[in-house]
Amino acid sequence: MDLMQILQSQLSDDVLGQLSDQIGADKQQTAVAANGIFATLLGGLANNASNESGLSSLASALDRDHDGSVLDDLMGIVGGMMQGGGEAPAAKAMNGAGILGHILGDRQEVAAQQISQSSGLNIGQIMKLMPILAPIVMGVLGRAKNSGGLDLGGLANILMGSAQNAQSGGFGDLIGSVLGGVLSGAQQQQQPQQQQGGGLFGQILGGLFGGKR
């Protein structure tokens, strides 16, 4: 199961059109930006799943707040959030700002800068998209966990596998640009820690999120 492909499939032409109209961009730019956001959040989640406490916390959050029902009316959810200026509703399943805080912490703006360079959108546009797309990521992951009956090990494997597939399946440059750019400052202070998945993605995640959780 490739979460990146599932995430892309959620962005129908109508949803992309709605997002593009609201932020004043064309669909291609919006799609590229969405890919960057999805890749960044999958990377952060994969890192959370690389240690026992982070994995348990993630699984509990999925069981409690993210059953995938947000995917049933993406047009309505996207429209409602955009009309609210990009601010998420109080419901935790759609609390994009809260989700971003857990996954990226204070690195959100730096990530937005990198995605901006990749997509051609400005940082303000990216920052509007991030809290809207974050609940979609959690919804897809929650639904995958429930439908597949995934235990903790299965959840960790699907996250790391999806992140690595995204890197090798046409998103390598994008992932390197987004995560590598955020990592650049951390590399000067510490050596990247190898994660279970190894390779470039594990090294990037080790340096980017090694100090979290």
pLDDT digits (tens, 9 = 90+) for 158-184: 988 887 777 666 666 655 555 554 433
Which pLDDT belongs to residue 131? 92
CA R_g for the chain: 16
pLDDT of residue 83: 58
Would you state the pLDDT for residue 99? 92
Banded pLDDT at 205 (limits 50, 70, 90): very low
The answer to whether residue 188 scores a pLDDT higher than 50 is no
Average pLDDT, the chain: 77
Residue bearing the bigger pLDDT, 209 or 59: 59
Structure confidence at residue 45 (pLDDT): 85
Region 199-210: mean pLDDT is: 44
Which residues make Cβ contacts (< 8 Å) with residue 195, sequence separation at least 6? Answer: 46, 47, 50, 160, 201, 202, 203, 205, 206
User: Quick one: which of 181, 48, 169, 56 has its CA closest to 107?
Assistant: 181
- Please write the tens of the pLDDT for every residue from 80-101: 766 554 444 447 778 889 999 9
Please identify which residue in the block is written with the tokens 């987004």: 178
Would you state the pLDDT for residue 77? 78
Does 47 score more than 60 pLDDT? yes
More confident residue, 211 or 152: 152
The pLDDT score that the predictor gives to residue 171 is 63
pLDDT at 27: 93
pLDDT tens digits, one per residue of 107-144: 888 889 888 988 899 999 999 999 999 999 999 999 99
Mean pLDDT of 7-12: 93
| Of residues 147, 131, 137, the one with CA closest to residue 97 | 131
Q: Which residue has the higher pLDDT, 19 or 171?
A: 19
**Residue 204: per-residue pLDDT:** 43
C-alpha 94/C-alpha 42 separation (Å) is 17
Check residue 104 and give its pLDDT: 83
